[in-house]
Structure 1
Amino acid sequence: MSDQKGAKSISVQQLAKKVINGEHLFILDVRNTGDFDDWKIEGKNIEVINVPYFELIEGVDTIIDKLPKDQNIYVVCAKGGSSMMVAEQLVEAGFHDVYSIEGGMKAWSEHLEPIKIGHLKSGGTIYQFVRLGKGCLSYLIESNGEGVLIDTNRMIDPYEQFAKEHQITIKHIIDSHLHADHISGGRKLAEKFGATYYLPPKDAGEVTFSYTPIKDGDKVKVGTVTIEAIYSPGHTIGSTSFIVDDQYLLTGDILFVDSIGRPDLAGKADDWVSDLRQTLYGRYKQLADELIVLPAHFMGINEMNADGSVAEKLGILYKVNHGLNIADENEFRKTVTENLPPQPNSYQEIRQTNMGKLNPDEEQQREMEIGPNRCAVR
């Protein structure tokens, strides 16, 4: 955070620490109301109000009564420009601790926060990369200096930096399915590291690049740790889960802490809902209750643990997750197909990008991904 007189600035990295630590934050979001209603910064102790920038061009007198006098004010816009101008106006109006969030919601959407999940009994560590602004979760499993990355985001620098700092040689990159809500960094990272890129073949029928198929029962070794593939269709026809060292179950977009995956992002909801039920009520039911579920997304801050991680035992989810407790098959079908949120922004273009059919530039990729995670049944 900068210390100059006048308005200050705060990076999204610094803001993320505050959100994860549960600090009380007051945020003034100056984006258009439609954008704000679609997607905002959220947290357990966050108070946020929306006043569009165009209403503040002539001054901030109209909102002074809405702002706290005795705490920091964090101003956010789309890219960081308008928020600094509003922050300066607030300082001129007599507010002292006013911060503009650097890079705005675009930067917030792209920040990855690495969190250590735990040690592996065969020797090694598993880390979760939390994308707070998008609800994406990706993973790095390390053992004996070797690593595998699973369900990576398109921002590859954080993974490269983390691997370098921890002296990890990335050997394998895996996508649990063909993603539709965010652009995968899998292929790019595999090229960077000279790693093997795995993709479930049933999701890869239209891809334009070479990959290594990963199927039910296949095992990937990293150091002394074994990762076993479990075919688990329902979100997509190729969706595959991974059991890591008989301790963790990486569920991709099939099962979340507070919901279940949606089966409609390829237009096959009626066909895939039966697969989804079989995975959740059949395949997963046969697995050990003690397995810790690590999903590829989270829906809200309420799913986070105290340290910012998103994880829960499978047995507990079978008790508390509504999507796992619908006994009647017809009711399950109805619940799943009638409680779908809006489709993710540009999801068709994102799928085509992940197939290698489109090659948008960096700014186009950012625009395609703007908005919240929408991979779950409500």
Structure 2
Amino acid sequence: MTPRAMELQEAAQRIMEQKPLFILDVRNPSDFKEWKLEGKGFTYLNIPYFELLDGVEDIVDRLPADQEVLVVCAKEGSSVMVADMLVEQGRKAAYLKGGMKAWSEHLVPVKIGDLKGGGELYQFLRYGKGCLSYMVISGNEGIVVDASRMTSLYIDFAAERGIQITHVIDTHLHADHISGGRRLAQETGASYWLPEEDAQEVTFAYHALTDGTVLPLGMQGTQVEAVYSPGHTIGSTSLIVDERYLLTGDILFIDSIGRPDLAGQAREWAQHLRSTLYERYQELAEALIVLPAHYMNVDELNEDGTVARSLGQLYRENHGLNLKDSDEFMSLVSQNLPAQPNSYEEIRQRNMGRLDAAPDREREMEIGPNRCAVRS
């Protein structure tokens, strides 16, 4: 008997359905502490692979006897060997196919809702990175927002539905992951949009996304409207879709708010952030459904696997939206910051077109969790 390979989609389904899973992570403790396969109801045991080279007899009693154990490592190889040893000990074991390397690149499309005139809005969840991207569909046209570098999935998804991707938008210049926006636009012939305030040093042509820009989509009257909302970056721009959804980029999350420090102008950008959250967003309808570009932890997932809340609910529950004192707000966004994203300056340079990187290097640059939010 041999251990089975757990496909990435099955692991994602466990997260979406909030099913229990016991994970034996055989990476180094520092890697496990920083970043792991997370889900509600998941339990963990972290034992480095090198401690198991002589066998798993010493840890078998620490593993559940009545459920399958999923062994996880960086690239799959070590987890296969450990899972084999567990099976030899009479335990039911599986290994994560492709390891955390593959998990970091896996995308899961989930339908958010219907639009006027028969359109649809999809959220693409990148569970291994906490990144969220979107496709707005109306008629036979589609707009992709904050695309990851795995562009083939968007292309295949659109092709399956007979959709032509006509516009690709980045809500801001990303610093925690490599944008696939420009690449996707080139591959599909779509127009690529980027806030002009974030594009001062880019080396490529783009369409300037400015406050009030309206992109019509399809023949049903669906519109995507840009709302200038600086703070995470100086160019950060939100999108209102169909007068119902608010795509906030990295300005507002479900349980936190965006950090303003990733370009070395924390004080100035923090003032912009406060103005966006406490003035500009306050003018918007509370019924708008907030759809961010990232989530921080699995508690932010809804029962259907989506990441979404109404703007009104966030104004009631999100701590970052309820700091009336300006000094208290400034303290939050300057002192409650996690470590900066891995290779964030290289990623910014890559997204500006000022740095070339091979696919393996791009993957290395992105390894680890996103860190775009202020701590709650």
The residue matched to 1:140 in structure 2 has which SS? Answer: strand
Aligned to 1:66: 62
Whole-Å separation in 2 of the counterparts to 1:92 and 1:148: 51
Match of 1:140 among 135, 143, 165: 135
Structure 1 position 289 matched with structure 2 position 286: yes
For the 8 Å contact 2:14–2:39, the answer to whether it is kept is no
Whole-Å separation in 2 of the counterparts to 1:314 and 1:67: 43
Aligned to 1:303: 300
Whole-Å separation in 2 of the counterparts to 1:122 and 1:354: 35
Residues 63-142 of structure 1 aligned to structure 2 (within 5 Å): 63-95=59-91, 97-142=92-137
Per-residue deviation, 1:122: 4.1
Per-residue deviation, 1:123: 3.3
Per-residue deviation, 1:121: 2.2
Aligned to 1:14: 10
The residue matched to 1:319 in structure 2 has which SS? Answer: helix
CA deviation vs aligned residue, 1:327-364 (integer Å, no higher than 9, x gap): 00011001110000000000000000000111111110
Q: Which amino acid aligns with 2:8?
A: V
Flag as ranges the 4+ runs of structure 1 deviating above 3 A.
Answer: none
Q: Which amino acid aligns with 1:337?
A: S
CA deviation vs aligned residue, 1:148-182 (integer Å, no higher than 9, x gap): 00000001111111111111110000000000000
The residue matched to 1:79 in structure 2 has which SS? Answer: coil
Match of 1:25 among 21, 33, 38: 21
Whole-Å separation in 2 of the counterparts to 1:129 and 1:155: 11
Structure 1 position 225 matched with structure 2 position 228: no
Residues 1-378 of structure 1 aligned to structure 2 (within 5 Å): 5-95=1-91, 97-223=92-218, 224-378=221-375
Normalised to the residue count of structure 2, the TM-score between the two structures is: 0.98
Whole-Å separation in 1 of the counterparts to 2:288 and 2:34: 34
The residue matched to 1:315 in structure 2 has which SS? Answer: helix
Q: Identity of counterpart residues, as a percentage?
A: 59
For the 8 Å contact 1:151–1:186, the answer to whether it is kept is yes
Whole-Å separation in 1 of the counterparts to 2:207 and 2:324: 38
Whole-Å separation in 2 of the counterparts to 1:32 and 1:363: 21
Q: Which amino acid aligns with 1:16?
A: A
Q: Which amino acid aligns with 1:285?
A: Q
Whole-Å separation in 2 of the counterparts to 1:207 and 1:306: 40
Whole-Å separation in 1 of the counterparts to 2:372 and 2:230: 14
Whole-Å separation in 2 of the counterparts to 1:40 and 1:81: 17
CA deviation vs aligned residue, 1:253-300 (integer Å, no higher than 9, x gap): 000010000000111111100000000000000000000000000000
Normalised to the residue count of structure 1, the TM-score between the two structures is: 0.98
Gaps of 5+ in 2: none
For the 8 Å contact 2:134–2:144, the answer to whether it is kept is yes
Q: Which amino acid aligns with 2:124?
A: F
Q: Which amino acid aligns with 2:257?
A: I
Q: How many residues align?
A: 373
Whole-Å separation in 1 of the counterparts to 2:226 and 2:117: 18
Q: Which amino acid aligns with 1:151?
A: D
